[in-house]
Amino acid sequence: MKKYVIRGGNPLEGEVRISGGKNAAVAIIPAALLVNGVCIIENVPVVNDVILLTKIMSNMGAKVSFLDKTTLRIDSTEIHTCAAISELVRKMRASYYLIGALLGRFGNAQVGLPGGCDFGVRPIDYHIRGFEALGATVTIEHGIVNAVAENGVKGTSLSLDFPSVGATINIMMAAVLAEGTTVIENAGKEPHIVDIANFLNAMGAEIRGAGTDTIKIKGVKELHGGRYEIIPDQIEAGTYMVMAAATGGRVKVSNVIPKHLESISAKLEEIGVTVEEDDDFITVSREPSQIMNKVNIKTLPYPGFPTDMQPQMSTLLCLANGTSIVTEGIYEHRFKYVDELRRMGAKMDVDGRVCVITGIEKFTGAAVTACDLRAGVSLVIAGLCAEGMTEISNVQLIERGYEDIVEKLRGLGASIGISDDEPQISEKTGENAG
Ligand code: EPZ
């Protein structure tokens, strides 16, 4: 099984270019099913979830091909089925977007229930209630969501119980070709929600208000083909910003939209890290001798502090002076990675949605296992600044959302390699057992 092997202690120095947004891409790609034409999508991150989606859509009759490393061509003029029930669908959460896209285009969808990171129960009831409000009958049988709008999708007004990212996007997709207008109240405001709305408008949709808590979608007859560039990944950017701070280096994080990173930049500055913003890049630095201050964090929907940065920031706070409190405001159980960080010396106590973090002098290298995408990259962060060697297994989970992470880190001076053989780390010393 593929592993990363990291020798800690190198301050990261240099420039890293951020890839296209993973959570934008895994929504925009299925949204191309709504288009009776050819979409050219640029700045696509080449990560496992994207590759998986292209396979699922090809199996449905879409003609999908990469024109270059990050440009995808999708021709959805000849979709021959409204069913996506293969085991591929269960490998990711974003496969639920196939329901909204198929329902929106054809009034009919049979899609396997999604999988994805395990943070406790992750229902899709908000999505289903939205589809029903649009006139669909939705049943779930044998693990398959069956959504049918016999009289076509009809515009409506609805309010979400919670500003769910996925439900906001999915209902928007189901409504773009509806008869009449749809209004979504208490909508999510994340940058990738705006990105999907901009993509759909570029293809002829009439969506207004994305990025606010009220989105209005005026149904149109058809969407035409076109070209669109995905926004940079704000979570990947935030992750490299934290890595620069954790290792006591200086990193220029380029190809970013600073506004999307405001809550992350603000927290890093509160900790005592230097953050210099420019038009499309941010430079993050910390002198190795510079003490980091403890801070408290609560994750919230955008523009609050993002839950997808909670594991990374909690890892950094393990090295801060004093006791920090991190509250997970979005998921029930998003601290499963703490057990693995404890193996590297972390002092973290979890009680439900709250984690109390007591600062330590340093992490020590160990053999650890990634349990989900962001938890996995947090082990990379700890390994980069640990004393000795760290070996991380289950790294395919990390590669679901971080394009070329090993190459990018090597470009910043990290000592990181990929190993396929037996454990290299001796349990006792954390040194290379070879
Ligand atoms: C998206 O998940 C992201 N995934 C997640 O990123 C991210 O953590 C999350 O948004 C919040 O920002 C993708 O975009 C593929 P939600 P999603 O609907 O859409 C509950 C990553 O690391 N809920 O905003 O599933 C849900 O259980 C991943 O990139 C319902 O109860 O998030 C959660 O507690 C991890 N019923 C809360 O709402 C529903 O129908 C927020 O979920 C839907 C959600």
Judge whether 82 counts as a catalytic residue.
no
> Does the beta carbon of 126 sit less than 6 angstroms from any atom of ligand 1?
yes
Express as a percent the part of the chain with pLDDT over 70: 95
- Residue 136 DSSP symbol: -
Mean pLDDT value across the chain: 95
Per-residue pLDDT band at 93 (split at 50, 70, 90): confident
Nearest CA to ligand 1 atom 4: 23
Give the closest residue (by CA) to ligand 1 atom 40: 124
The one-letter code for the residue type at 208 is R
Separation between Cα atoms, residue 412 and residue 252, nearest integer Å: 10
Quote the CA–CA distance of 17 and 10 in Å, as a whole number.
19
pLDDT at residue 422 greater than cutoff 70:
no
Residue 433: predicted pLDDT: 39
pLDDT band at residue 425 using 50, 70 and 90 as cut-offs: low
Residue 269 has φ and ψ, to the nearest 5°, of -65, -35
CA 164 to ligand 1 center in whole angstroms: 6
94 pLDDT above the threshold of 70: yes
Distance from C-alpha of 374 to C-alpha of 318, rounded to nearest angstrom: 16
Single out the residue of 298, 243, 283 nearest to residue 410, CA to CA. 243
**Bridge partner residues of 357 (DSSP):** 324, 348
Contact partners, residue 351, CB within 8 Å, separation at least 6? none
Residue 427 has pLDDT above 50, yes or no: no
Index of the ligand 1 atom closest to the CA of residue 127: 40
> What pLDDT was estimated at residue 186?
98
Report the pLDDT averaged over residues 328-332. Answer: 95
CA angle 270, 279, 407 (to 5 degrees): 80
Over range 336-353, report the average pLDDT: 97
Radius of gyration, alpha carbons of the chain: 22
Cα 122 to averaged position of ligand 1 atoms, centre (Å) = 7
Task: Please work out whether the CB of residue 74 comes within 6 Å of at least one atom of ligand 1.
Answer: no
Mean pLDDT of the region 375-401: 97
pLDDT tens-place string over residues 214-240: 999 999 999 999 999 999 999 999 999
Average pLDDT of the residues in 364-393: 97
| Distance from C-alpha of 45 to C-alpha of 121, rounded to nearest angstrom | 28
What is the reported pLDDT for 420? Answer: 82
Residue 148 has pLDDT above 70, yes or no: yes
pLDDT band with cut points at 50, 70 and 90 for residue 92: confident
The CB of 399 under 6 Å from ligand 1? The reply is: no
- Decide the pairing of beta strands 389-393 and 367-369: parallel
Q: Write down the number of H helices and E strands in the chain.
A: 12, 24
- From 95, 119, 162, 173, the mutation candidate for ligand 1 (largest count of ligand atoms within 8 A of CB) is 162
Q: Looking at per-residue confidence, does 433 or 239 come out higher?
A: 239
Is residue 424 very low, low, confident or very high in pLDDT (cuts 50, 70, 90)? low
What is the number of the ligand 1 atom nearest to the C-alpha of 124? 40
Task: Report residue 49 as tokens.
Answer: 């979830």
- Model confidence at 156: pLDDT above 80: yes
Cα 218–chain centre separation: 28
- Each residue of 50-67: pLDDT tens digit? 999 999 999 999 999 999
Please write the tens of the pLDDT for every residue from 179-218: 999 999 999 999 999 999 999 999 999 999 999 999 999 9
pTM of structure = 0.95
What pLDDT, on the 0 to 100 scale, is given for residue 381?
A: 98
Measured from the CB, is residue 125 less than 6 Å from ligand 1? yes
Q: Which parts of 91-136 are beta strand (E)?
A: 108-112
How distant is the alpha carbon of residue 302 from its chain centre? 13
- Residue 79: is its pLDDT beyond 60? yes
